[in-house]
């Protein structure tokens, strides 16, 4: 969840080399990302409020972590859809986009030789009221994409769960860092020190100062990269 914040007009882009070709990651804003892989466009939590989609390609694949308004935008999804577009998401999101396919925690799919794993995303301590976490266990997804020899983890809205800490061989991770909905910098650092991604992007960080995370992970060997993903 977040207040409405518009991202930069032209998203920043980072490029990674993999055994399957280059992966370009477009930092659209907040929880919205796009991966471009060999001319395939993978949109992750596309939401028009947080970025400019006017010059971005339509989707070959859409991944949605959960149904909150700042992660699921059915109107934009229809604009990004083209013949052959596939969408994977949690069950609550699929209830709002009828052609989408459900991925539950633990499910694995393959899309053009890209392995997609749905991993749990949930709150442990942060609640909107007693017994009602912002993100209940079993309802939301994070995703691990294996592209060639690289593994990319997009966590969704979650805390530093045991399942996150048990991840292996993550090259690039996106971890959320805004309170009270997800994690503090200390919680992100705790998780990162456990599963040791090579590169870590804090995202969905709202008013949190991402430089706090840089300080907490100094000397850890983890490359913390800050992009405009409020």
Q: In angstroms, what CA-CA distances link 27 with 15, 184, 195, 230? A: 11, 21, 23, 10
Q: Is residue 206 part of a domain?
A: yes
Measured distance CA(141)–CA(120) in Å, rounded: 5
Residue 204 lies in a domain: yes
Q: For the chain, where are the E strands, in sequence order?
A: 12-18, 21-29, 32-37, 40-44, 61-64, 86-89, 101-102, 108-111, 114-121, 127-129, 132-133, 140-147, 150-154, 172-176, 199-203, 223-224
Would residue 168 count as lying in a domain? yes
* Closest by Cα among 155, 154, 159, 120 to 137: 120
pLDDT of residue 9: 63
What is the total count of domains within the chain? 1
**Is residue 21 included in any domain, yes or no?**
yes
Tokens 């070709």 correspond to: 21
- Spacing of C-alpha 204 from chain mean position: 9
Domain ranges, residue 77: 12-224
Rounded CA separation 170/164 (Å): 11
The answer to whether position 57 is within a domain reads yes
What pLDDT, on a 0 to 100 scale, did the predictor assign at position 127? 65
Residue 103: inside a domain = yes
pLDDT tens for the chain, residues 1 to 230: 444 444 446 789 999 999 999 999 999 999 999 999 999 999 999 999 999 898 999 999 999 999 999 999 999 999 999 999 999 999 999 999 999 999 999 999 999 999 999 999 999 977 677 777 777 888 999 999 999 999 999 999 999 999 999 999 999 999 999 988 999 999 999 999 999 999 999 999 999 999 999 999 999 999 999 999 98
Q: Which residues, other chains included, contact 127 with Cβ-Cβ below 8 Å and sequence gap of 6+?
A: 133, 134
Model confidence, pTM: 0.94
pLDDT at 47: 97
Q: For the domain that residue 77 is a member of, what is the CATH number?
A: 3.60.15.10
């Amino acid at each position: 969840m977040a207040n409405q914040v518009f991202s930069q007009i032209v998203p920043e882009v980072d490029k990674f080399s993999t055994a399957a070709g280059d992966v370009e990651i477009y930092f659209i804003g907040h929880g919205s990302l796009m991966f471009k892989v060999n001319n395939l466009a993978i949109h992750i939590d596309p939401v028009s409020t947080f970025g400019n989609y006017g010059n971005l390609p339509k989707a070959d694949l859409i991944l949605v972590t959960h149904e909150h308004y700042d992660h699921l935008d059915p109107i934009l999804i229809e604009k990004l859809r083209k013949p052959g577009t596939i969408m994977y998401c949690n069950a609550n999101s699929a209830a709002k986009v009828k052609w989408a396919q459900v991925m539950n925690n633990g499910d694995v799919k393959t899309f053009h030789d890209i392995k997609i794993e749905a991993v749990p995303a949930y709150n442990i301590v942060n609640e909107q009221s007693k017994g009602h976490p912002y993100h209940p266990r079993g309802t939301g997804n994070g995703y691990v994409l294996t592209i060639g020899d690289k593994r990319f983890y997009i966590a969704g809205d979650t805390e530093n769960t045991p399942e996150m800490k048990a991840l292996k061989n993550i090259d690039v991770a996106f971890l959320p860092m805004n309170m009270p909905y997800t994690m503090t910098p200390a919680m992100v650092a705790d998780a990162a020190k456990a599963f040791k991604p090579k590169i870590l992007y804090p995202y969905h960080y709202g008013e949190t100062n991402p430089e706090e995370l840089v300080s907490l992970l100094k000397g850890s060997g983890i490359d913390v990269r800050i992009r405009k993903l409020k």
